[in-house]
């Protein structure tokens, strides 16, 4: 009956039982009833203490669970923020890479256009040089043909002079033609005649 009580309480109960044996039946019943009520109250107090301890324990567990839940939410928010920052950095890096690739492509295109322009300029210079060379050759050829025609014309005139005056020498015929086509006497004459006649002397 008193196993849940302490040793001191058990001693008190034994002393009380000795006193009960000396009392009447009614007094003994009343004391036992009071004792039973005290035991019931103590049990009730013990149960209340246990219940409060259990409630306190449950409260602590709930607080810990709530803290863990809040910590988990905070970790998720922090992870989400870190993920957004990493995503932002990744997008910025991609944009920088795209910009760098665009700049490199633009520089390559500019270099290619510059090379193409340089090749075109070189080709134009080469074509211009070839044209000038052909023109110079053409002029030289025309000059040779003209000199050849002038020489042939002068040879014909020398031959006519020689026919008209057989006693004249070749040099005398040339000198006579020099006087004829000299710029002082014949301003309209081509100066090329004098050059050819000087070479024919």
What are the boundaries of each domain within the chain? 7-131, 142-200
Q: What is the pLDDT of residue 2?
A: 43
**C-alpha to C-alpha distance for 184 and 149, rounded to whole angstroms:** 23
H or E segment at 17?
Answer: helix 7-22
Q: Which residues of 57-73 are buried (b: 16+ CB within 10 A; e: fewer)?
A: eeeeeeeeeeeeeeeee
Mean pLDDT of the chain: 84
Within 10 A of 158 (CB to CB), how many other CB atoms are there? 19
Nearest in space to 201 (alpha carbons), one of 165, 158, 167, 161: 158
pLDDT value of residue 53: 92
Instruction: Reduce the DSSP state of residue 50 to 3 states and report it.
Output: helix
Contact 18, 26 (CB under 8 A): no
Burial class (CB in 10 A: 0-12, 13-18, 19+), 174: buried
Please tell me the distance from the alpha carbon of residue 32 to that of residue 20, in angstroms, as a whole number. Answer: 9
pLDDT tens per residue across span 72-88: 999 999 999 999 999 99
In this predicted model, what pLDDT tens digit does every residue of 102-155 receive, in sequence order?
A: 999 999 999 999 999 999 999 999 999 999 999 999 988 888 888 888 788 878
Q: What are phi and psi of 183, to 5 degrees?
A: -60, -30
Residue 93 has pLDDT above 50, yes or no: yes
Q: Is the pLDDT of residue 101 over 90?
A: yes
């Amino acid at each position: 009956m008193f196993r849940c009580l302490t040793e001191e309480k058990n001693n008190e109960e034994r002393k009380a039982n000795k006193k009960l044996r000396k009392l009447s039946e009614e007094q003994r019943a009343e004391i036992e009833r009071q004792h039973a009520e005290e035991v019931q109250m103590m049990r009730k107090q013990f149960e209340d203490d246990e219940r409060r301890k259990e409630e306190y324990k449950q409260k602590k567990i709930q607080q810990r669970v709530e803290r863990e839940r809040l910590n988990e939410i905070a970790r998720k928010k922090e992870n989400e923020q870190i993920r957004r920052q990493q995503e932002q950095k990744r997008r910025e890096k991609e944009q920088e890479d795209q910009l760098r690739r665009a700049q490199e492509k633009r520089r390559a295109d500019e270099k290619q256009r510059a090379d193409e322009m340089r090749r075109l300029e070189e080709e134009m210079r080469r074509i211009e040089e070839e044209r000038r060379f052909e023109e110079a050759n053409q002029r030289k050829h025309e000059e040779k043909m003209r000199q050849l025609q002038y020489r042939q014309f002068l040879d014909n005139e020398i031959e006519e002079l020689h026919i008209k005056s057989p006693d004249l020498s070749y040099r005398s015929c040339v000198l006579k033609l020099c006087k004829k086509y000299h710029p002082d006497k014949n301003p309209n004459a081509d100066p090329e005649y004098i050059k050819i006649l000087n070479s024919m002397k």
